[in-house]
Amino acid sequence: MESGGGDRFEMVIGLEVHAQLLTHSKMYCGCAARYADAAPNSHVCAVCAGLPGALPVMNRAAVEFCILTGLALGAEIPGFCKLDRKNYVYPDLPKGYQISQYDLPLCIGGALEFASEGAPKRAGITRVHIEEDTGRLVHRAGAPGDEVSLVDLNRSGVPLMEIVGEPDLRSPAEAADYLVALRQTLRYVGASTGNMEEGAFRCDANVSVRERGAPLGAKVEVKNMNSFRAVERALRFEEERQRAVLAEGGSIAQETRGWVEASGVTVSQRTKEQAHDYRYFPEPDLPPLTISAEMVAEIRDRLPELPGARRDRFASRYGLDAKEIETLTAEREVADVFEAVVGPDGTAEAARRAANWIVNDVMGLQRARGLPPEQLPINAAQLRDLLDAVAAGELSARAAKEVLPRIADGELPRAAAGRLNLLALDDEEVVRSAVTDALAASPSAVADFRAGKKAAMGRLIGETMKRTGGRAKPEQVRMLLEEALTES
Ligand code: ADP
Ligand code: MG
Ligand code: ZN
């Protein structure tokens, strides 16, 4: 179904993102917030198990990460905010409520700037607030009637922030681009891994379709997407479904729907009438938070250069093309390596070369090794040594590519090349004897060259290089060949 152009209808999307904060401990207790591979219920205390009378204590690092994120998004940080109880019953929530923020969040307003289909786009942020995660249910299959659900509270009380976006997005692709940019911002500031597959970055999508220029239509909230692709697919499905209803003169009811990955559809979960009433009220066990201007200023100082600013600077400072810049800045750590290799006084040419090596060879090796996106297989000092060796003619480009995957942990590429006998041949006598051999073995190329076919020189260089295992410097080979051919 086409969207845009002469189309009568327009899609409206607003996203609510929950991101796990990268703190050491949980939101309101001292239990470790990271528990990968830990046995179920091994990171649990009286507070996060929700035992009656246990008192929560606010995690300062979580508050700081939330403010840091708000500042990255240009939000306002009010001097005063509070925590509220959001009450509901579910087996993964032993307390019977989550401590969240209702009417006075930590961060208000702001916007996310990103690129979508080549054009700059700006989507408003409504608010960013902190809350805690729930436990997890593990469903075990069994004979009918014997299925069981087990409760694991390791995740209970893990710090989350919710980033509520304005209904400013107009297509599934735009929503996906927004998510990628938001995730990138969270990773740049170090607030969250943003890992969607691991549940550290979850998105609920609110979707409506309206006649162009009309007020907002009733929204459908879509849940259960656990990849960027799933979000885009769910939104496409929902757009078509709503358009079809409207095209037939029907109307959309406000409801919550769940995305079913296997069948590629959304299904109704509850309607407006069944909507939760969370009976929010101020959390009596935690004092409100006062956030001083000094604290905000101190956190603002921790902000790194953000992705958009970095992309702009890479374009103006180094003149790289947009695709290359996008790849280099996707992860802050990779952009850092690039800049460390180029150095503060690096020329545009040096930048182009470093970019080329990182984007093609180094990231190719990173993929082949299955490393995480922020972790390159070699560090800046190693890459700089490699590029210096190539620039100095100590390593041919071919030899450099051969060395790269064989560099040991922390080893300098020149040392690796020496160890592997790949350094350029410096011994002129050895090259001279290779030239003699090559000439003797290629009489037809020699005859061609003498008959004026200059292209034969390429063949002779190739023959000589072969005899040095590719280690001779091609310029020296050419010089020695020319010398030999004019002498005799
Ligand atoms: P609720 O009270 O149901 O949570 P909110 O007004 O807080 O609704 O909005 C929640 C999310 O839904 C926000 O991300 C917002 O941008 C989005 N949203 C609100 N109205 C619409 C709409 N008509 N169409 C699409 N998204 C919407
Ligand atoms: Mg809401
Ligand atoms: Zn605990």
Rounded mean pLDDT, 407-414: 94
Give the pLDDT confidence score for residue 416 in this predicted structure: 93
Give the pLDDT confidence score for residue 488 in this predicted structure: 59
CB of 304 sitting under 6 A from ligand 1: no
**Tens-place pLDDT, residues 243-254:** 999 999 999 999
Give the pLDDT confidence score for residue 6 in this predicted structure: 61
**Tens-place pLDDT, residues 25-67:** 999 999 999 988 899 999 999 999 999 999 999 999 999 999 9
Atom nearest to 168 CA in ligand 1:
16
CB of 170 sitting under 6 A from ligand 1: no
Q: Which of 287-291, 389-393, 470-474 is predicted with the least confidence, judged by mean pLDDT?
A: 470-474
Give the pLDDT confidence score for residue 215 in this predicted structure: 94
Atom nearest to 14 CA in ligand 1:
16
Rounded mean pLDDT, 180-205: 96
Q: Which of 329-338, 417-426, 441-450, 452-461 is predicted with the least confidence, judged by mean pLDDT?
A: 417-426
CB of 206 sitting under 6 A from ligand 1: yes
Give the pLDDT confidence score for residue 152 in this predicted structure: 97
Give the pLDDT confidence score for residue 4 in this predicted structure: 47
**pLDDT(2) > 70:** no
What is the model's pTM?
A: 0.89
pLDDT tier, 275 (very low <50, low <70, confident <90, very high otherwise): confident
CB of 208 sitting under 6 A from ligand 1: yes
CA 219 to ligand 2 centroid distance, Å: 11
State the amino acid at position 336 in one-letter form: D
More confident residue, 430 or 77: 77
Beta 201-211 vs 9-20: how paired, if at all?
antiparallel
**pLDDT(328) > 80:** yes
